[in-house]
Chain A
Amino acid sequence: MLLLNDTYRQQSNFAAYCRTGIYSPMTGVNEERLAHYPRLVFNVIDDTLRSAYPLTVDLLTEEEWDTTVRSFFATHKCSTYSVWKMPYEFYQFVLTLDNSLTEKYPFLEELLLFEWTEIEIHMMEDEQFPEVVSEGEMATDTPVLNPEYTILQLHYPVHLKNPNEIADTDKGEYFVLLFREQESGNVQFLDLSFYFVWLLRKMEHEQKSLFELAEEASDLFGVEQRFLLEKSLPFLTELRNKNFIIGYKK
C-alpha cells in the first residue's frame, strides 16, 4: 500500500468518529464542521433501517430504536457494499445482543427476521421457473411450486398479530410461507400448519401427487387419508389461485 501510516491513521480516526462520535486527533480539521459527518452518515443508516423494519420501529420506543441502531453502527462493521442489504446485518447484530431489549420483546429477533425476509424474497435474483402444464387434477397430478419462496419457522406469530399485541401466551410453533409472485413481483405470505409444511416440502423434493403424499402422511401421522385429502385440497387450490402452485408437472 502506498498510503503512509499517518494518512491511514487520519482516515481511520475520521471513519471511527463517523461511526462512534468519539473524536481522535486529526490534523487541520474544522471540528465544528467535522461534527456534521457523524450526523449525515448516521442518517443514511437510520433511514435505511427504518424503511426495512417499519413494524419494529413501531414496536420499540424511540429511545430503544435509537440506542440499538447507534450501537449497531458503532460496533458492527458493515460488510455489504449494497446499502439495501445492510438491514440483514442489523438483524444479525440483534441476534448477538443479550440485553433487556430482547428480554422485553422476546419475539424481536423473529420480527426482524420476518421483515427482512420480505425484502430478501422481493429482491432475490430470479430463479429458473420449471416448465409446467397449467391444467391438471390437484389430487392426482404433481403440483409444481414457485421456486422463489421460503418457509420460516417461528415461535411467535409476528406474521399474524400486531407486534404490540403479542404476549407470552402466544408462544408456540408457527410456520409462514413467503413467496414472490412471478408476474407482479409482490411478496405474499401465508400461515402454514406443520402438516402443510411437510406436504409442500415433499411436493418440492419428491415430486409426488397429493394422493400419494396423503397416503404417506396417513401412515406417518395416524390420520385417515380421506381426512387429509379433504383438508389439503382447499389449501392447495388456494395456493394454485395465488400462483404459488404454478401448474402441474409435465
Chain B
Amino acid sequence: MSNVGIGFRKDFAEEFRNGSVLKPAFLEVAPENWMGIGGYWKKVFKSVAEQYDVYSHGLSLSLGGPDELDWDFLKKLKSFLKEYNIKIYSEHLSFAKCDNAHLYDLLPVPFRWDAVHHIAQRIKAVQDFLEQKIAVEIVSYYTPVAAEMSEVDFINAVVKEADCNLLLDVNNIYVNAFNHQYDAKQFLHHLNLDNVEYIHMAGHEKVAEDLIIDTHGEEIIEPVYELFDYTLGLLPKPIPVLLERDFNIPELAELQHELTRLENICSRYWRNTYATA
C-alpha cells in the first residue's frame, strides 16, 4: 500500500504485530484512547508506531461546542503527537461536549455565521498551540439544527477563516447528500478542495427509505466507491486515504480487499506519486 491506511483498533491489533493479512500504508488512532495509558496496550501501540506511520483523529475536542477548549487535554495531546512523531491531527466539525458534559458522539453544529467565527477562532487557537495545522472533518448529520446558511458555505467559511485543512469523509458526503437530498458531486464542486489533506472512507447503514446512519460497521457500498473515484479526479495532489471500520469487524481478508480496491482507485489518479503527510 502506498496511500491507503486503516483505523487501528484493539479488535485487530494483534494482526499488526504478528499477522500478514493487512498491509496498510499507515494507521490512524483516536488519541483519547491511547494517551496516558500503560501496560499491554502501551506496548502494543509502541510496537506498531515503530512499524507504521501513525495519524491521529480526535473525538473529544468539540471544536463546534460552546464550552471552553480543554487545555489540559491539548497539552497531553501535544506531547503524545511529539512522542510518536504523529504528523496529522484531525478533528470533527461538530460538537461533542456541552454544558460541561461530554456526550461521546458527534453532534451537528448550527450552520450560522457566529458559529463560523467561533469555530474558526478555536481552530486557530488549537493550531497555534500545537504548532501545526489541523484538518477538520465534514461530519454526517441527520437533521440540520438552527441553520441559517448552507452546509457547504459553512464548511468553506470555517476552513478559510481558520486557515486549516479539510478532512474529506467521502462516505459522510454521500450520507448527507442522501439524507438531505442534494447532489453529492455538486456539493464537491462547491467545496473548496485546495486544503484537503486527508480522506476517510467507510460503510454505513440505511435505516429507512430516506435515512442513512453513518455506522462504520459495514463494508463500503458501490456508490461511495464511485463518489470516491470522482472525488480523486477533483483533487490537486495525492493525499492519504483511510478505511474506517469501527465494529462488526469482518475477516481481515475482507478489510484488505477494501484497502486494495481503494489503493487501485488511487493509483489510477496518482500513478507513481505517493501521498505524504
Contact = CB atoms under 8 A, between A and B. Distances in A.
A3 B103 contact: no
A76 to B, nearest CB: 8
Interface string A1-44: 11110111011101110110000001111110110110011001
B41 A123 contact: yes
Interface in B42-95: 42-43, 59-60, 65-66, 70, 73, 95
Given A12-B66, A14-B145, A82 B35 contact: yes
Interface residues of B, number: 45
Contact of A77 (B33, B99, B146): B99
A95 B111 CA distance: 41
For chain B, what secondary structure do more than half of its interface residues adopt (helix, strand, loop), or is it mixed?
Answer: mixed
Contacts of B39: 122-124, 126, 148, 180, 185
Contact of A7 (B38, B60, B114, B207): B114
A30 B141 CA distance: 11
Nearest to A187: B39
Given A2-B118, A8-B66, A15 B104 contact: no
A185 B43 contact: yes
A80 interface: yes
Contact of B104 (A7, A83, A126, A180): A83
A3 B62 CA distance: 14
Nearest to B73: A81
Contact of A27 (B38, B100, B102, B146): B146
Nearest to B34: A82
Contacts of B107: 11, 14-15, 18, 37
A2 B105 contact: no
A55 B66 CA distance: 38
Nearest to B39: A185
A177 interface: no
Contacts of A77: 99-101
A45 interface: yes
Contacts of B189: none
A184 B32 CA distance: 23
B102 A34 contact: no
A182 to B, nearest CB: 9
B117 interface: yes
A48 B104 CA distance: 10
B191 interface: no
A104 B95 CA distance: 39
Contacts of B36: 82, 125
A19 B103 CA distance: 8
Contacts of B142: 30, 33-34, 36-37
A197 interface: no
A40 B145 contact: no
B104 A86 contact: yes
Interface of A: 1-4, 6-8, 10-12, 14-16, 18-19, 26-31, 33-34, 36-37, 40-41, 44-45, 48, 76-84, 86, 122-127, 148, 180, 184-186
7 contacts: A4-B112, A28-B145, A30-B142, A36-B213, A77-B101, A79-B102, A82-B33
Given A15-B99, A19-B103, A124-B37, 11 more contacts: A3-B114, A7-B66, A7-B114, A11-B66, A16-B98, A16-B99, A19-B101, A29-B144, A78-B103, A83-B33, A184-B40
